[in-house]
Amino acid sequence: MISGPKSKFDFISKKELQKAYDDLDTYGKVAEHFGCSKGIVKRLINKYKIIPHPKWRRKYNFNDKFFSSDTEESFYWAGFISADGCVYPSNKNNKYNSNNIDTLHIKLASKDISHLQKFKDNIQSNNKIYVHQHKSAQGKQLEYCEIRLF
C-alpha cells in the first residue's frame, strides 16, 4: 500500500519550515511564502515541535532576566512561586495550556490581589491579573486572582 502526504502541505520539510520561519519571523509571512494559511503553518510548527519565536508568542512582556540576579527580591519571589505557583507544560491536549511554551500560573485568593500586583511590579510585567469566580462543591461563591506568564 502506497501512502502519500496526509495534507497537501506535508511536502514542507521541518528544515524548510524552520529556515523560512527564522528568515520571515511571522506565521503570516511564512504562510504567504508557502501559499497556505497561518493555521497550516501553526499546525506544522506544532507537528515539527519548532519553538515559536518569543517576540511573536508573547502578548505581554516581563523582565525574563529578573531571576538571573541574586537579590533579596528574586529569592523571595522564587520561594513564593515554588509555594503558590504552578507550571503548566505545553501540551495541545491540556485545557490550561495548549501553546508550545510552558506557562507559569500563580493563583491567590482575590483578597491578595495586591500581592500579585507587587510581583508584577517587581518583574516589570504588563501582564493582566485575571479575577475569576466559581462555586465550591458546597455551593459557596469563591473568587480568586491569577497571573500567567510564558
What order do you get walking across the sheet with 103-109 strand by strand?
Answer: 85-88, 103-109, 141-149, 129-135
Specify the pTM.
0.59
Of 77, 81, 13, 21, the C-alpha closest to 47 is 13
| Crossing angle for the helix pair 27-34 and 38-47, to the nearest 10 degrees | 100
Q: For 60, phi and psi rounded to 5 degrees?
A: -120, 160
Count of CB atoms situated within 10 Å of the CB of 52: 17
Cα–Cα distance measured from residue 87 to residue 106, given in angstroms and rounded to the nearest whole number: 9
Q: Are 142 and 135 in contact (CB under 8 A)?
A: yes
Q: Domain spanning 60-149: which superfamily?
A: Homing endonucleases (3.10.28.10)
| Domain locations along the chain | 14-56, 60-149
Helix (H) or strand (E) holding 44: helix 38-47
pLDDT in tens, the chain (150 residues): 444 445 666 778 999 999 998 888 788 889 999 999 988 998 898 889 888 776 555 678 899 899 999 999 999 999 999 999 998 877 655 555 555 677 899 999 999 999 999 999 999 999 999 999 988 899 999 999 999 987
